[in-house]
Amino acid sequence: MKSIYIIGALAAMTGMSLAGCSDFLNDNRYPLSSQAVNAEFWNNPQNVQNQINYFYEDYSGYGNGSGGGTFYWSWLSDDQCGRTAFNDWTYKTAQPAMSAWNAPYIEIRRANLIIQGLENSTMDEASRINFLALARLHRGRSYYDLVRRFGDVPLVTKPLSPDSEAELYGPRTPRNEVMDFVLDDLDYACANIADVSGKTILSRDMAHAFKLEVCLYEGSYAKYHLKDAVRATKFFNEAIKAGEAIAEKYPINPEYLSLYQSARTEGLGYKGLEANPEIIMFKPYQEGVFMNSISDYSNASDGVAGITRDAFEAFVFKDGLPACKTSYDTTDKGVAVGDNALSIQNLLDVRDGRLGFITYPNVFFQGLSWAASNTTGMWSSTGYGVRKFNNPEVPATVVNEIGKNYLCAPLFWGARLYVGILEAKAENGSLSDTDIATYMKPLWDRAGIDTSKLNKAFLEGINDTANNMGVSSLIWEIRRLRRCELMLDDGIRYWDLVRWHQLDLLDTGKHPNVILGANIANSPVPCTVATGDYVNGSFGQTRTFDNKYYLYPIPTGQIELNSSLTQNPGW
């Protein structure tokens, strides 16, 4: 119960508020409250813990109540089309104010206040160091969020006062300098956060898992955007070091869906994620205590954001080969079942088992609905549904109600580590057959893919004709593994396309499969939103790539306040 309170009810927690007005200048201009400057405040571990607890709000998981989270709802990718409307670029024009800019700086100020307050704290040294490490972890996390969205950003390393003119009105700090600062913070966190046994609280292992993600991003960005091989190698090696430090502790659970469909409810015996050996950290939900809407929105009668044809075709066949090489039947046509159903079980039977875990065995669209055992009739923007977040043991009265779902959300887990280690090693040229056996084979085994020929030479020799990223066969196959393993998870795919310099794959004119869905040639009911034989999930709109979309625009209100800030290219 305590862990649910910590993660799920932070808004009700007491303690001084460290958030000021919602822009960078105002968040750093106002002096600290009298409570904050009182040294006695920082001598009390409970006071500091209350401030650390606010950081849990950054982990949205499946969302809070009726609000969306980072799983399923991140529709701007080539994996999904929007639920009931087209998903275009996040920003197409510069805005006066943006939460993507404001929110991280609020958390940075909070972290800097904690760090400063602990400098002369008289609490026991072990507690003080642990709190410092947790604050630095989240300062690094916030700067990482800022850099991947905005590039160069002002680097603030201490709470500012009205007299801090240079910092308040200074220029943007080069992104590489900020990311080096982030790495220092994460290294400190990995070395100094206390070892804990709970999987719902911040831990040293979670810091390692997060460091892997950050360093994987930065290594890729250095390689594909900056063309800086030395920097890329450094960060890929740091990613490997972080992942391998903990990977053995989190073996792959043979049941893929156990990661996404574990529910804490008396009716199911409180089958949460605590006992799952693959879980590093998760966000707990519980019936009647703290709930979400993931099952309802991904199984809705008024529209589901279905996976795309591009996503469907990413999954290899049971022999580990793509359509251009496999000996299996490569048709994408389903089979009509009577006058009111279109089954694709025949397609799922010959593919990577994760595809069948992610989508349903029937196609459904406007005019041809279909219901699972515990849902009402659904329709999908692409014809393909989303099975991944629907535990069939949970009753329909829960699945189909907003704010009443109680599946627990994984935040960091073994498979996410494994695919990160594989990619970093493939990118820096150190991937071996032993690595493939250690980190890739368990994922293929779980997916029901033949691993008898799986080794580095096998992956290098596939040479999939669908490879449209200009990378080697080995890197393409590792990226495919990551995509299929983590599909619909935590907004991962969009940021992968950014760091790989592949965001142009979201251009609907050049890559129509990112808005198309299921083949309905054999449907017993016609589809009114089809292009040829395929459901079209674009809602009649298009998305055109512009290189400026790799970075968000700097809020225009910030530039008006601080003339030293410059706008990102193209905005």
Residue 248 within any structural domain of the chain: yes
pLDDT at residue 11, rounded to an integer: 31
The last residue of one of the domains, among 205, 228, 256, is 256
Sign of the alpha-carbon dihedral angle for 429, 430, 436, 438: negative
- Considering the domain architecture, whether residues 249 and 189 belong to the same structural domain is answered as yes
Q: How many domains does the chain have?
A: 2
DSSP letter (8 states) at residue 482: H
CATH number of 62's domain: 1.25.40.890
Is 355 part of any domain? yes
Last residue of a domain, one of 204, 234, 256: 256
What integer pLDDT is reported at residue 23 of this predicted model?
A: 40
Residue 440 counted as domain residue: no
The domain boundary, picked from 224, 240, 256, lies at 256
* 168 and 19 within one domain: yes
Please give the pLDDT value at position 382: 98
Closest by Cα among 316, 308, 306, 543 to 448: 316
Average pLDDT of every residue of the chain: 92
Q: Residue 336: in which H helix or E strand, if any? A: strand 335-336
Segment 228-252 mean pLDDT: 98
**Are residues 31 and 159 located together in one domain of the fold?**
yes
- Whether residue 239 is found in the same domain as residue 313: no
- Tell me if 113 is assigned to some domain: yes
Give the per-residue pLDDT at 5: 31
| Mutual angle of helices 414-427 and 204-224, in 10-degree steps | 30
According to the model, what pLDDT value does residue 37 have?
52
Residues 306 and 357 in one domain: yes
- In the predicted model, what is the mean pLDDT of residues 548-552? 98
CA pair distance 571, 564, nearest whole angstrom: 16
Host domain of residue 203: 2-81+98-256
Same-domain check for residues 217 and 304:
no
In-domain check, residue 449: no
pLDDT of 9 above 80: no
Q: pLDDT-based confidence at 36, cuts 50/70/90? A: low
Domain match, 48 and 197 both = yes
Listed residue (95, 91, 101) closest to 25, CA to CA: 101
State how far the Cα of 292 lies from the Cα of 401, in Å rounded to an integer: 10
Q: Rounded to 5 degrees, what are φ and ψ at 370?
A: -150, 150
Residue 212 lies in a domain: yes
- Whether residues 315 and 250 fall in one domain: no
Q: Could you tell me the pLDDT band of residue 16, with boundaries at 50, 70 and 90? A: very low
| Residue bearing tokens 């009911």 | 525
Residue 493 lies inside a defined structural domain of this protein: no
Instruction: Please indicate, yes or no, whether residues 164 and 26 belong to a single structural domain of this protein.
Output: yes
Clarify whether residues 128 and 180 are in a common domain: yes
Across the range 251-257, mean pLDDT stands at 97
Residue 24 has pLDDT above 70, yes or no: no
Q: Is the pLDDT of residue 309 over 50?
A: yes
Is residue 251 domain-shared with residue 346, that is, in the same domain? no
Instruction: Give the C-alpha separation, 514 to 535, whole Å.
Output: 11
pLDDT the model gives residue 269: 74
pLDDT score recorded for residue 32: 40
pLDDT of res. 356: 98
User: What pLDDT sits at residue 421?
Assistant: 99
Question: Mind listing the pLDDT tens digit for each residue in 159-192?
Answer: 876 666 666 788 999 999 999 999 999 999 999 9
Residue 403 in domain: no
Give, as one character, the DSSP assignment of residue 261: -
For a pLDDT cut of 90, what percent of the chain falls above it? Answer: 89
Dist. CA 439–CA 239, nearest whole Å: 15
Q: Assess whether 63 and 183 both reside in one domain.
A: yes
Q: Per-residue pLDDT tens for 46-103?
A: 999 999 999 999 999 999 999 899 999 999 999 999 999 999 999 999 999 999 999 9
Binned at pLDDT 50, 70 and 90, residue 384 comes out as very high
**Gap between the Cα atoms of 134 and 468, Å rounded:** 41
Per-residue pLDDT tens digits for 317-374: 999 999 999 999 999 999 999 999 999 999 999 999 999 999 999 999 999 999 999 9
Map residue 92 onto helix, strand or coil: coil
Record the tokens describing residue 558, joined without a space: 């910030």
Question: Is the model's pLDDT at 278 over the cut of 50?
Answer: yes
